[in-house]
Structure 1
Amino acid sequence: MLKIVRNIFKKLKREVISPVSWDNLRRLQPLSTTFGFDRGTPVDRHYITSFLKAHDTDIKGHVLEIAESSYSKQFGTGVTKYEVLHVQAGSQVTIIGDLTDKASLPENRIDCFICTQTFNFIYDFKTAIEGAYHLLKPGGVLLATLAGATQISAYDQQRWGDYWRFTAQSAEKVFGEIFGKDNIEIISYGNVLTCTAILQGISAEELLPEELDYQDPVYPIILAVRARKA
């Protein structure tokens, strides 16, 4: 019931309270300061969902996420165990550890690690990627997304930091160094219009499917990485 009420409010905000005036976005304050969560689905979340749906056959066996297992349950096919990593104990947490500290992580345990929008919040991101590699079984797959052209997350910045934005070139280089360049695939999602939308906090529901689907590598909102441990 609560979810239905929230969705109704988001639709009212999009269509009645503060509809987008695409003819004039000359403004100093965004339509939303929460990536568009209060208006609908943030554009980057739309792309994350598209990426995971396209790789759902990788989401099987022991599947790991950070803090919760929502994507594993939504897209998993043949999952035998839902694993959750966090630095602190919690009701869903099965692995208490830190990606930048391999000694705190089990080795060769995970078949698929879904790690969305995480490495940009870790200062020592390369060591964290090595931690992800350490967790995976041989043949295991990391499905990661990285922030590209998007705003700072005030929520995360105040708690643990928001340090990095990536390009396809930087993602290819760092993941290639750890997984091997022949074991990675980098996908760029976004275009100048969707970049404008996420910076303004305009939701995916306020864009046309063809506008969301058009990909221009010069304007990446997110970079998606499929990396396999050889």
Structure 2
Amino acid sequence: MLKVIRKIFKKMKREVISPVSWDNLRRLQPLATGFGYNRGTPVDRHYITSFLSAHRADIHGQVLEIAESSYSKQFGTNVSSYEVLHVQPGKDVTIIGDLTNKASLPANYIDCFICTQTFNFIYDFKTAIEGAHHLLKPGGVLLATLAGATQISVYDEQRWGDYWRFTIQSAAKVFGEIFGKDNIEIISYGNVLTCTAILQGITAEELLPEELDYRDPVYPIIIAVRAKKA
């Protein structure tokens, strides 16, 4: 019931309380903060689910996420265990460890690691990617998304830091060095309109499917990486 109420409120927020006026975006404050969560689905989350949906076949066996297992449960098939990594103990945490400290991580353990919007919050991101590689079984797959042209996440900045924004070129270089350039696939999602939308807090529900689906590599909201351990 609470989910339904929240959904109704977000719809009212979008359509009644503060509808988008595309002809009047000359403003110093965004239409909504927090990526537009209080209005609907943030555009970057729409792209993340599109990427994971396209790679459902990889999400099987022992599947790992950071802090929770919502995407594993949404997109996984033939999952033998839902693993959750965090630096601190928690209700659903199965691996207490730090991606930048291999000694805290099991080796060759995971079939699929879903790691969304995480490496941009880790200062030593290259070591963290090496930690992800360390966790995977041979043949295991990392499905990672990285922030591109998006605002700072105040929530994360205040807790552990928000350090980096990536490009296709930087992602290809760092993941290629660790996984091997022949073992990675990289795609970007976004265009100038959806970049404008996410910066303003305008949500996926307020855009047309063809506007969301158009990809312009010059305006990446997220960089998505599929990396396979040799």
| TM-score relative to the length of structure 2 | 1.00
Runs of 4+ in structure 1 displaced over 3 angstroms? Answer: none
- 2:207 is matched with 207
- 1:54 is matched with 54
Task: Return 5+ residue gaps in structure 2 as ranges.
Answer: none
- 2:33 is matched with 33
Paired residue type of 2:107? E
Shift of 1:75: 0.1
Shift of 1:100: 0.1
- 2:110 is matched with 110
RMSD: 0.3
Distance 1:60 1:158 in 2: 34
Shift of 1:206: 0.1
Q: Deviations over 1:4-27 (max 9, x none)?
A: 000000000000000000011000
Paired residue type of 1:77? T
- 1:151 is matched with 151
- 1:227 is matched with 227
Instruction: Report sequence identity in percent.
Output: 87
Paired residue type of 1:78? N
Distance 2:159 2:85 in 1: 18
Distance 1:39 1:139 in 2: 40
Q: Secondary structure at the match of 1:129?
A: helix
| TM-score relative to the length of structure 1 | 1.00
- 2:178 is matched with 178
Q: Secondary structure at the match of 1:152?
A: coil
- 2:161 is matched with 161
Distance 1:227 1:170 in 2: 14
Distance 1:111 1:31 in 2: 41
Paired residue type of 1:42? P
Task: Return 5+ residue gaps in structure 1 as ranges.
Answer: none
- 2:193 is matched with 193
Aligned residues: 230
Shift of 1:111: 0.1
